[in-house]
Amino acid sequence: MSDNKISLPLFDPALLKPALRDSVRKLALREQLKNPVMFVVYLGSVLCSVLWVMALQGKGDAPAWLTGSIAVWLWFTVLFANFAEALAEGRSRAQAASLKSLKKATIAKKLAAPQRYGAAFTVVDASDLRKGDVVLVQHTDLIPCDGEIIEGIASVDESAITGESAPVIRESGGDFSSVTGGTRVLSDWIVVRVSVNPGETFIDRMIAMVEGAKRRKTPNEIALTILLLALTLVFLMVTVTLLPFSVYSVGAAGSGEVISLPVLLALLVCLIPTTIGGLLSAIGVAGMSRLMAANVIATSGRAVEAAGDVDVLLLDKTGTITFGNRQAAAFIAAAGSTPTALAEAAWLASLADDTPEGKSIVVLAQQQTRAVAPHHDGVLSESQLGQGTLQALHQGLVPPGASFVPFTAQSRMSGINLGERQIRKGAADAIRRHVLQLGGSFSPALQQQVDGIASRGSTPLVVAEGARVLGVVELKDVVKPGIKQRFAQLRQMGIKTVMVTGDNRLTAAAIAAEAGVDDFLAEATPENKLALIRDYQQRGQLVAMTGDGTNDAPALAQADVAVAMNSGTQAAREAANMVDLDSSPTKLIQVVEIGKQMLMTRGALTTFSLANDVAKYFAIIPAAFAGTYPQLGLLNVMQLASPASALLSAVIFNALIIVVLIPLALKGVRYRALGAEALLRRNLLVYGLGGLLLPFAGIKLIDMLLALLGLV
C-alpha cells in the first residue's frame, strides 16, 4: 500500500519545535479555558508566581525558594500538558499538509448544452465550478472537482489519494462512476457532473477532519471532562476549607503553624486529576491521527468513538470474508446432456461476460473441450457442439452472427443468441422461471444438484439452451485464511459479526459456518439491509457496516459507523461517516480496533491518573499539616526527608508523569481483543495498581535526589 500514507515517528524532530512553540502559545487564557482541569492548574501557577514575588519582598507565608520552586513546576505541568496536545495536533497538521499539496490550481473544460462529448466547452478555473456544472476531462487532464461520470469511460490515476500506483477504470453508470478532484485521467475521456461546491470537496473535508485544531470533542470525551471537572471542584472545595480549619486549630491549641497558600496550591494540583486532564485532548487527536495513518478519513469524531463501542459488524461476504473472485470449478451436466455440451453452451454465454466469474468459465470450458477433442480439424458435425463452435471456442473467437444478452439485476441472467439458439446462464430460480415460460421443465434431480453445490458453500450457475436445462456450473469462492480467528477475537470483545450476501440461503449458510460468523443475511437487498440495521439499533446496539454502491447508501446512512469505499459511488461516500482510501472491505475490522484502542487508552490513563492521586495523598497530607497536626506524621509511610521535600517531590512527580505518558497517549495502549469485564480487570491490575505504586517509588526517588543535592 500506499507510498503517500503518512507514518510519522512518534517524536519527529520536525514536529518538536512547532509543538514547543505552540505549547507557549496555548498559555493564552482562551486556550486554557477549553480544559477546565488544566485551567485550575494554570490559575494555581499564576497565583503561586504572585506569592513568590511577594515572598521575595518578605510578605509571603512560606519560604521564597519553596514558593518559587512550586511555581516553576506548576508552570512546567501546564506547559507539558499543552505540549502533549500541540504534538498530537502537529502530527495531524502534517497529515493535512500532505493533503493540501493535492489541491492545485486546476482549469476545467466546462461544457455548454447539450452537455455531451463533442459539445463546445469553456475553459474556467476549477474554483469557479458549482454543483451541477458539467465538465469534460480528457487524456492527461486533472479532474477539477468531485463528481459523477455521466458519459464515457477512462483509466484514472488515483495514486494522489490512495497511494496505489495501479490506475483504475471509471465509467458512467454502475458503482464506479464517482471521481475525486485532484486525480488524473490517463486515457480516453469522461464527462463529469460536479457534485459539490467549492470548499466541500472530498479533499477539503479530509483536510478539515485531520487538522487537530478543528477536532470537536466526542460525547464520551465530554462526559469524561465533566467527571474530571466534578472531581476538581470537589478537591477545590476541600482544599479551600483546609485553610480556615488550620487557622482555627492553631488558635485553639495556641501553638503550631497555619498552612501556607503555596502548600495548599501544591496540594490542590497534586490531588486533582491533572494527569488525564493534561493528556485527554492529545488522546483524542492521536486517535484521529491513527485512523488517518490507516488511510481512513473520518468525517465525524463521534464515528471514531462509536467504532470503539460497536456491538454488531455487518460484513459483505465478497472481498471481505472471501477473496471475492469466484472461479468456475466444475461443469455438472443435467440428465440428457453431456459435460462437453454444457461447457460449450457456458462458454458461448460467457463470451461477453467481463467479470472474473465469466472469464473463469471461458478458461475452464476451453480446458474441458481440449480434453474431449484435442485433435479436431475444425470441421465438426451437427451432432457434436454445433458447426464450427468448438474451433471458435479453442481459438477464443466470437462466432459470427452472435448477439449478447447482458446481465441485469431484474433478470439475474445473461447469455447469447446465435441464430436459432438461445443460451442463458444465471441463478437457479431465474433460469427455472425462464425455462418454464418456454414450456420446459426443471427436474427435482437438477434442483438437488443445485442444492448440493450451494450446501458446499459454492455458487450454482444454471445453463439452459431454449427450454432445455443443460446443467450447472459450480463457482467456488475461498474464505480468506485467518478470518475465522479474527471473528473469534471480535466475539471475545462482545461484537457480533453478521455476513451480508446476495447468495441464496444454502450458500450463505455454508460460507458463514466456514468463516465462523455469528449470523448471516442471505439474498440481501437495500431494503432488508436497512431493516436489519434498524432492528439491531432498536435493541440498543451500535452497528457498523461497509459499502461502496449507491444501493448501500440507505444502510450506510443508518449505521452508527459507516465505512464507504473510496472507489465507490458519490452517494455511498456522502452517506458514510468514514471513507477508506484503500477501498479494502476488511478495513472495517481495523477501524473498530482503532476505536477500541482509543477508548482503551483513555480508560487506562484515567485509571492510572485517579490511582496515583492516592499515593500523592500520602506524600503531601502529612507534610502539609505536619506543623498543624503533628499526629498526621503517622501517615508519612514513605519517610520523606522533610515537609518541604515531600511537597516539592510530589509536585515534580506530578509534572514529570505527564511527560512520561505522552508517548502512550500518542501511540495508544496495545490493542487486545478483550471483553469489557476482562478489560476492566486488566486496567485495574496494570494501570490501577501501577498508578498506585509508581508514585510511591517516584516521589521517594525524587525526595532522595533532592536531599542528596542539598536542595531541601
Residues marked as catalytic:
316
Question: 493 among the known binding-site residues?
Answer: no
Give the separation between CA 8 and CA 618, rounded to whole angstroms.
41
Say whether 409 counts as a known binding-site residue.
yes
Is 413 annotated in a binding site? The answer is yes
The three three-digit cell numbers of residue 692, written as one number: 498506585
Find out whether 411 is annotated in a ligand binding site.
yes
Going from the C-alpha of 249 to that of each of 61, 256, 313, 688, 693, the distances in angstroms are 17, 8, 62, 35, 33
Instruction: Give me 164's grid cell.
Output: 496505489
Q: Which three cell numbers stand for residue 186?
A: 490517463
Candidates 585, 512, 587; CA nearest to 318 is 585
- Cell (9 digits) for 420: 436459432
C-alpha cell at 438: 418456454
Task: Return phi, psi of residue 460, to 5°.
Answer: -85, 135
Q: 353 labelled as ligand-binding?
A: yes
The edge-to-edge listing of strands for the beta sheet with 543-547 is: 296-298, 578-580, 561-565, 543-547, 312-316, 496-500, 519-521
Cis peptide preceding 400, ω within 30 of 0: no
Residue 100 assigned to a binding site: no
The reply, when asked if residue 564 is annotated as ligand binding, is no
Q: Is 217 annotated as a binding residue?
A: no
What SS3 class is residue 586?
coil
Q: Is 154 marked as a binding-site residue?
A: no
394's grid cell: 479453442
Can you tell me the distance from the alpha carbon of 464 to that of 640, in angstroms, rounded to the nearest whole number? 91
Backbone angles phi, psi at 316, to 5 degrees: -70, 140
Return all residues near 128 (Cβ < 8 A) that are at least 6 apart.
Answer: 108
Radius of gyration of the chain (CA): 34
Helix (H, G, I), strand (E, B) or coil at 573: helix
**Residue 520 marked ligand-binding:** no
> Is residue 33 within 8 Å of 613, Cβ to Cβ?
no
448 known ligand binder:
no
Residue numbering of the annotated binding site:
353, 357, 407-414, 425, 548, 552
Where is the binding site for Mg(2+), in residues?
548, 552
Annotated binding residues for ATP, as ranges?
Answer: 353, 357, 407-414, 425
